[in-house]
Amino acid sequence: MTGAGTDKTKTGFDLAGPVVVLVEPQLGENIGMAARAMGNFALSRLRIVNPRDGWPNVSAQRAAAGADLILEHAELFDSVEAAVADLTLLFATTARAHDQAKPVVAPERAASEIVAHVAGGGKAGILFGRERYGLQNEEVALANRIITFPVNPGFASLNLAQAVLLIGYEWFKLSTEGALPFAMPERSERASQHQMQAFFENLVRELDRVEFLRPAEKRETMLVNLRNIFTRMEPTKQDMHTLHGVVMAIAEGRKGPAKGGVLDGAQATRLRALLAEHEQASSTSETSSTVRGLARLLRRNPTDAERILWQALTRDRRFAGQFKRQTPVGRHIPDFVSFVHRIAIELVNPGETEAIASDRASRKAWLGSRGYRVIEMKAAHVEHDLEKELARLETSLREKK
């Protein structure tokens, strides 16, 4: 795809590099592709000696794929001697031994010498020969060093642009200290051990329901192996939310929604802490799908207090049909909500963390600003004195009217 990696809005490097000298290139396309390779690695100075098809060259412009500025500033010469006259360090590229007593270096070594020479105020250049037979002996004799490439000796010939690209890469890498143009974006913080544990318990619970962890004597080993799979991944918070959703979707697809088990107090606290941490860390734009997923997970796994209160709300004529359980209101999920009465019920479980308490306060303020009244019920009171809590709720409904 032409220009697939080119972003015109970005500022390129402006580096003092070597002069690229093309000796009697035959095809305009090769000149254009060489210019493109130069542009890839911030080489900007191009000199051309006696191009066969004349200059300027339309074919070169077409093949340059956007490196027009390099071609526009290219200098034309009648001889190699004139093209290199002002250079103080000259390299000649060749795949053939010319039996000349001068150092032969690889591209990496040449790049190192060029960087040091230019930094000291010198002018460096690199000769590239003709497509058919390269540089002649007298042209190689003008150079201080010979560059050759570690290639297959049975097929050593490189395309002109390939040779320019290989040397340009080594020079640019040294000049920029190997800096890459971009890195993997960090979209989310690393998942905490608390989040990992909440996910793993949910996963194991579902695996137990399908009797995956058998035979019994291998259960512990299998659990260790499973846990290591996820810890090696070093997942983010968002990864954990996604994996929760995956497990939930598989479970619901197998047995239908809202048919989960009952969480004990510790499990309920961990699951709600996971949701609380997500609410605090995420922006509104990225929460909708995760909130819906966690809402389904919470519906499938009621605590004892939720189950007891939900049965009462659906069977008691005072409240039947007026409340929904674990239903998102915007980006929040109250335990129970009545859209008709604009009342939300929040269950307070024992041993809750600061994150959960803070999240509830934030949710209460958010709901209150939108006309909802939030009623808090302690889980222990629901389990041991349900009628008292229902009477309090009935009073609140009457006051709302």
Judged against a pLDDT cut of 60, whether residue 280 lies above it is answered with no
Judged against a pLDDT cut of 80, whether residue 287 lies above it is answered with no
Residue range 72-117, pLDDT digits in tens? 999 999 999 999 999 999 999 988 877 788 899 999 999 999 999 9
- Residue 170 has phi, psi (to 5 degrees) of -65, -40
pLDDT band of residue 12 (cuts 50, 70, 90) is low
Q: Are 320 and 314 in contact (CB under 8 A)?
A: yes
Judged against a pLDDT cut of 70, whether residue 187 lies above it is answered with no
Judged against a pLDDT cut of 80, whether residue 284 lies above it is answered with no
Residue range 300-343, pLDDT digits in tens? 667 788 888 988 998 888 888 899 988 888 878 888 999 989 99
Judged against a pLDDT cut of 70, whether residue 254 lies above it is answered with no
What residues form DSSP beta bridges with 368? none
Quick one: what percent of the chain has pLDDT higher than 90?
37
Q: Are 343 and 373 in contact (CB under 8 A)?
A: yes
**Residue 263, SS3?**
strand
Judged against a pLDDT cut of 70, whether residue 377 lies above it is answered with yes
Least confident of 44-48, 163-167, 233-237: 233-237
What is the token pair recorded at 152?
A: 């297959």
Residue range 225-252, pLDDT digits in tens? 999 998 898 888 888 888 888 887 777 6
pLDDT band of residue 259 (cuts 50, 70, 90) is very low
Mean pLDDT of 192-212: 86
pLDDT band of residue 256 (cuts 50, 70, 90) is very low
108/153 Cα distance (integer angstroms): 19
96/117 Cα distance (integer angstroms): 26
pLDDT band of residue 400 (cuts 50, 70, 90) is low
Instruction: Tally the C-alpha atoms within 13 A of residue 310's C-alpha that lie toward its C-beta.
Output: 20
Provide the 10 A C-beta neighbour count for residue 211. Answer: 7
To the question of domain 193-400 being in CATH 3.30.450.90, the answer is no
Residue scoring higher pLDDT (48 or 332): 48
pLDDT at 10: 63
pLDDT at 82: 95
pLDDT at 274: 65
19-175: what fold? Answer: Alpha/beta knot (3.40.1280)
Cβ burial, residue 168 (10 Å; 0-12/13-18/19+): buried
Judged against a pLDDT cut of 60, whether residue 255 lies above it is answered with no
List all residues 6 or more positions away from 58 whose beta carbon is below 8 Å from its beta carbon.
Answer: 28
Mean pLDDT of 342-347: 92
pLDDT at 96: 82
Rg (CA), the chain: 36
Residue scoring higher pLDDT (249 or 143): 143
pLDDT band of residue 281 (cuts 50, 70, 90) is low
Mean pLDDT of 22-49: 92
246/242 Cα distance (integer angstroms): 6
The rounded mean pLDDT for the chain is 83
Using the structure block, give the residue that is written with the tokens 């690199």.
126
The candidate with the shortest Cα–Cα distance to 346, out of 333, 355, 358, is 333
Mean pLDDT of 348-360: 80
pLDDT at 358: 83
pLDDT at 253: 62
18/118 Cα distance (integer angstroms): 8
CA 1-9-62 angle, 5° bins = 40
Provide the 10 A C-beta neighbour count for residue 106. Answer: 14
Reported as type and span, the H/E element at residue 29 is helix 28-40
- Measured N-to-C along each axis, helices 219-233 and 193-209 cross at an angle, to the nearest 10 degrees, of 140
Reported as type and span, the H/E element at residue 206 is helix 193-209
Least confident of 122-136, 214-228, 245-259, 319-333: 245-259
pLDDT at 214: 85
Long-range contact pairs involving 108-114 (C-beta distance under 8 Å, separation at least 24): 108/170, 110/145, 110/147, 110/167, 110/170, 110/171, 111/167, 111/170, 111/171, 111/173, 111/174, 112/174, 113/89, 113/145, 114/17, 114/18, 114/89, 114/171
- Domain edges within the chain: 19-175, 193-400
Question: Is the pTM above the cut of 0.95?
Answer: no
